[in-house]
Each structure stands twice: as C-alpha cells, then as structure tokens.
Chains A and B, each alone.
Chain A
Amino acid sequence: MVTSTNLVYLIALPLFSAALLLLLGRIADKWGHIFATLISASVFALGVIEFFAMQGREGEARAATQKIFEWISVGSFQVNASLLLDQLSICFVLLISGVGTLIHIYSIAYMSHDHDRRRFFAYLNLFIAAMLLLVLGDSYLNLYVGWEGVGLASYLLIGFWNQKPAYATAAKKAFVANRVGDVGLSLAIMIAFTQFGTVTFAGVKESASGASAGALTAIGAMLLLAAAGKSAQFPLQSWLGDAMAGPTPVSALIHAATMVTAGVYLITRSNFIFDASPTAQLMVVCVGAITLLFGALIGTAKDDIKKALAASTMSQIGYMILATGLGPVGYAFAIMHLLTHGFFKAGMFLGAGSVMHGMNDEVNMRRYGAIGKVMPITAATFGLGYLAILGVPPFAGFYSKDKIIETAFNAGGIEGILLGGATLLGAAITAFYMTRVIVLTFTGTKRWDDNAHPHESPFLMWAPMAVLAVGSVASGFLLSSGSALVNWLQPVVNEHHEHHAEEFLPPMVVSAMALAVVAIGVAFAVLKYRTVPVEAPTKVSVFTKAARKDLYQDSFNEAVFMRPGQKLTSGLVTTDYKIIDGLVRAVGWVVQTSAASLRTIQNGYVRSYALIMVLGVLALVTAIWMVTL
C-alpha cells in the first residue's frame, strides 16, 4: 500500500469542469464541449499513468491510497475522505474515463444541434466525477457519496429534454427506484457501523471474519438491494427501460457501460461479506438468474431499438450479478464480463444513436430496414458488437460470458444445473433478440418514410464506434489470455487458485453448448423475421403481449406499491383535514361563538355598565359575607 498524491485529480478535474461550465452559463457555449472532452481525456490519461505505475509495483504495494481530508471525527469514530486505487478500482477508472471520453467525442457531433450542449457536457463531467468517486472511495461512506452523485447525474441526464413531460417522468421514476436501493445501501452502512464500529472496506473486511452470520446476511441483503436499485436488477428493474428517454450517448455511458454496473462493483468490493454468508450469496444468484431471463424476455418483444438494448443491458448485468454470487471464482469473470460488456454494449448504443441520428430520431425498428446499405460503418461496428454479445469466438463475449456459464454449471449439484440452465437459456434468448434487432434494423427491405434520408454519421460519431468495436473484438482475448484479469484481481477478491475438483462440465463442452443454443436462437430469429410488417401485429401470443408490457412490471408496481401508497397518503390527508384541522377549527368556532354572545354585553350604555358593577359588588359582598359567616 503506497501513498499517492495524484488520485484526487481524477475526481477534482471533471468536478471542476462541471462546476465551471454550469456557473459560466451561455458564455461557455462556444468551447464548453471541447473543454469537457479534454478534461475527460486528461482523466483517462491520468488513469493510464496510474495503471502503469501500479504495474511497476509488486504485490501488496500495488494499491495506492490518498487521504484528502478528515471528514467525520466523533470520539472514536473516524471517517476520512480517502481514496483507494487498487487492482479492482483501476479497471473501473480506465473503463469509465476511456469509454467516457469516447462518448464525449461522440456527443460533440450527436448533440451539435442542441442549444443546451454545454449543459449536457457539464452533466457528463459531473457523472464522470461522481462515478470515479464511487469506485475510488476507500469506505462505504465515501462510496455512498459517489453512489448518490451518479444517481443525481443520471436523473439530470435522463431528464435532459425535460420539456417533454414523459421524459421528466422517466427521470423521476429512475430517481425514485434508485432511492429504494439507496435506502438499502444506507442501512447496510448503518448495520456495518453498529456491528463493526467502522465503515472502511479494510476495517469491515477485518471484522467480517469474526462477525455473526445474521449480521453478515443482513448487510449482504441490504447491499444486494442497493445493487438491484442501481443496476436495474429484479425487483427494482423497471426504471431502466424508461431511462432511455435520455440522449443516446447517456444511455451508452450511464445506462449500459458504467453506472448500471455499479451494483456489480459494490458486490465485488464487498466480497468478504458475501463469501462469509452463503444465504446472501444465494439471494445474489437468484436475483441474477431471474433478471437475466427477465431482461432477455422483455428484449424479444420491444420495437424501440433503445428499449431492446436496455432490456439486453438488464439481462447482461444479470449475468454479472449471478457470477458475483458464485463466490471467489465468479468475481473476476463478473468484472471481465462487465468490461467487455462496457465495450460492446456502449458500441451498440452509439450505433443505435447513429441510426436514430440519420433517421430523424425514429426509434421504432419496424420503420428501419436495410439501413446497412446506407450506413455501412454503423452496421459494421454494430455487427461486431452483436457478435461479441452473442459470444461467438473469438469476440469479447465468448471469453467472458462462456466463463460465467461454465462457472454456473460448476457451482455443483442441483443449483449448478439450474443456474447453468438459466444462463444457457439466457444466451439463446439473447441470440434471438439481438438477431431480431440486426434483422429489423440493418437487413431486409426498406420500410422508412420518404422524408427520412438516412446517411452515414460524421467522423466524430463513427470514430468512437470504431474504437469500441475494436474493444468488442479484442478485449475478451486480451483480458483472458493467460488469465490476465483473474490474476490481476486476485489480491482483491481472494481467489486462491484451487482448481475446482468436481468440475461438472469441461470448458469445451460448455462452449459447444453455448454456441449451439446461440445458433438455434439466431436461426429462429432469422426465420421469424423474413418479412416484417411496419405496424406491430396485434394478434400475438399472451407471452409477446406480456413482454411488450415489460412483463407487467409497471402494472405490478402500480398495483402493489403506487395505489396503496396513494390511498395511504390521501387517507392521511383526509385525517389531517378532518381530525387535526377539525380540532383547530373547533377551538376557533367555540371562541368565536362564545365571543359573539359575550359581545352583546358591551352595548356602550354607561348605565348598563354601572348596573353590572353594582351587581358585581353585591355578589362580592355576598360572597365575603357567606365566607365569614
């Protein structure tokens, strides 16, 4: 563990840039986007420097820390605002700043017609700062600040075009769903504090070995709730589809590559808690397995290209969460899939944005068709991402997703077969819906309006897509050659290279099975979508209807949480009006009416006042007389 003085700049630079652009206002309109992009690029450069510096150090000394200031100091309880850059954080720093910079570049062109482009870039930099704080904090409390920061940035960016009420509502929905998860995180921090008296990762890790199983399970469950909120996992998944209201670069950066994977980071970072609590691990794998199928099923019926990709994101993060629940062997594969997914999904989202850019912001895939001919670069980069997500060798997904499927099968017993089956089924459905996206968008016959003139996007847009496509091709091979990432992360996730003795299926068999189900999915989609009606058919099976309605997630939330909540609040309002206010009004009424009758005494006639005085004196005298008698 070495002490560094440079880590703070990773966060301070984008934060400063965001503040500057927001405070300067319209003055910065001319150069704001360039400035923000340069800042993001310099953060990436700093990250690369730190990465090589870290490689130059060995063993324990690889992790670097920096204390920025003393944050909370109450008696024996001390929390410093400190940063920790270790083998896990650096992966995220490079992903966030790298993909972030590419998306900044892309946005310069994508947002060029928006007169609020400067504000957009300020929010993007705010997001980069918050996300880096999230992955660099050395305690749960520091992480929490970043966690809330990315929630804020996500809210601001989903609702970037908040002049449309539906988009503003989508932003609110994302924020509220995230708050539910945030409550989980704050509860986890509180439990950790009461149980261990510390909230730093190192401190909790030290105390976790001697802690009670109940406390660890409680912390694990609360952390899982937090992860579910941020990563759009079951049962808090419903916000991600609507979050596509934001500009497409935002969907690519925040809602595909980085922020939604924060839950995977949280669980991986808290590996010492989950490793010690099998119950919490079981919950994690269940959530992962449910979500990966849930997202995949929704993806099969969506006609909105961005929503189909969002469902796919949900499903792929389900894979990662599932992998983190499989114990020490799974963490590295979860992170590997996170990194490769960051490349190919961001690339595909940018591709979708490029198509929308050329199609007057049309998102309905049924109105695309044959776009590959007019947008060859977009089609090629999207196609490479497509091969990567399918897991076709030697593309990135093959190395990361197959490893997760293999690890799931090797979990042992019934659990292993169930989880392995779920991941395999997910892979087949993934192949189906991604093929559907490709077929509907890039091949077939043209179905677009006459007033749409699709054209290839400018250089600033296709260059980032090309870089991400290279990542989709090469990242899997690079990360897994010689188990590079597994060895790299070993000090953080405690994976001891005890090879699984009871290997259920050899890797070759798993890969063959995965490729077989993927081939089935692709073939099925190609056959089904040979002809595509421009209007979505209404006579469809009950399953398609359910998937179109996001498997009734919103109806469920509305029926179970929203309406009773509304009833409760309206009941409380009525109670407040009728009982609380009623009491106040009753007091007022009594005073008013009694005053009205007393007022008649004050008639202004001196003689009546005199009479009252006489009577009063008489009463007084009588009283005294009675008492003394």
Chain B
Amino acid sequence: MDISNYIYLSALLFTIGAIGVVVRRNAIVVFMCVELMLNAANLAFVTFSRVHGNLSGQVASFFTMVVAACEVVVGLAIIVTIYRSRRSASVDDASLLKR
C-alpha cells in the first residue's frame, strides 16, 4: 500500500486550514479551518497507525476528536458572546488587547 497519497492529502488539508486561519476574518470560518487542521492531523495519525500495524495512532486520533469537540463547545460559546456584544464576528474587530 502506498501511504504517500494519504500523507500528501493530510499535508494539503493542513495547509488549506493554516492558510484559512491566517487569511480569513470571519471567526466561524477561522474556526472551521482549525477543525480542518485537526482532522488533517487525524488522517496522518490513522495512516501511520496502519503503517506500523498498532493502534497507538488511532487512540491518538480519538483523543484529538474529544479535544476538538470540547474546543467547539467553548469556542462557539465565545464567538456567540462576542457577536452579541460587538455585533461582529470578525476576528480583526476583537483586537482590544493591544490597547
């Protein structure tokens, strides 16, 4: 089995996610891009698990999913709160810390 394609796909997804985080302003999109990066990592974990013939990678990917689920809960709550108070979901508007 050629694993290169899986790694290429994982790297491609991660790159798309990273670029999305850096260039998009909408908090929801940034959030989804973060999810994309996590899932790219998951894909790499599962691939290597298959290559090495043990379950460590798959266990790690479950951990990642749990953490991602928690992150979604907390993250969305923050985004909704910010939207309520500032009437905007743009991450550039939430730049109060520098002042």
Contacts and interface: CB of A to CB of B under 8 A. Distances in A.
B28 interface: no
A606 B91 CA distance: 7
A614 B23 CA distance: 12
Interface stretch (A153-161, A404-412, A597-605): A597-605
B91 A604 contact: no
Contacts of B23: 607
Contacts of B98: 602-604
B21 A610 contact: yes
Interface string B81-99: 0000000000110111111
A611 interface: yes
Contacts of B99: 604
Interface string A591-629: 000000000001111110011001000000000000000
Contacts of A602: 98
Q: Which of B23, B25, B30, B95 has the most CB of A within 10 A?
A: B95
B18 A614 contact: yes
A611 B91 contact: no
A74 to B, nearest CB: 65
A272 B94 CA distance: 93
Contacts of A611: 22
B21 A604 contact: no
Question: Interface majority SS on B: helix, strand, loop or mixed?
Answer: helix
B96 A605 contact: no
Contact of B91 (A603, A605, A614): A605
A610 B96 contact: no
A607 B21 contact: yes
Nearest to B25: A607
Interface string B9-39: 0000000001001110100001000000000
A607 B22 contact: yes
Question: Interface majority SS on A: helix, strand, loop or mixed?
Answer: helix
Contacts of A605: 91-92, 95
Interface string A327-338: 000000000000
B29 to A, nearest CB: 11
Nearest to B95: A604
Contacts of B95: 603-606
Contacts of B92: 605-607
A215 to B, nearest CB: 76
A610 B22 contact: yes
A610 B34 CA distance: 11
Nearest to B27: A606
A605 B92 CA distance: 6
A605 B78 CA distance: 17
B94 A606 contact: yes
A319 to B, nearest CB: 86
A605 B93 CA distance: 8
Contacts of A607: 21-23, 25, 30, 91-92
Contacts of A603: 95, 98
A607 B23 CA distance: 7
Contacts of B22: 607, 610-611, 614
A629 to B, nearest CB: 18
Contacts of B21: 607, 610, 614
Nearest to B91: A606
Contacts of B25: 607
A603 B25 CA distance: 15
B88 to A, nearest CB: 13
A605 B30 CA distance: 13
B79 to A, nearest CB: 12
A610 B48 CA distance: 27
A611 B91 CA distance: 14
A555 to B, nearest CB: 67
A531 B33 CA distance: 117
Nearest to B97: A604
Interface string A362-389: 0000000000000000000000000000
A383 B91 CA distance: 107
Interface string A221-259: 000000000000000000000000000000000000000
B34 to A, nearest CB: 9
Q: Which of A606, A611, A614 has the most CB of B within 10 A?
A: A606
A375 B31 CA distance: 112
Nearest to B96: A604
A48 B94 CA distance: 98
Contacts of A604: 95-99
Interface of A: 602-607, 610-611, 614
12 contacts: A602-B98, A603-B98, A604-B96, A604-B97, A604-B98, A604-B99, A605-B91, A605-B92, A606-B95, A607-B25, A611-B22, A614-B21
Given A604-B98, A606-B30, A614-B21, 6 more contacts: A602-B98, A605-B92, A606-B91, A606-B94, A607-B23, A614-B22
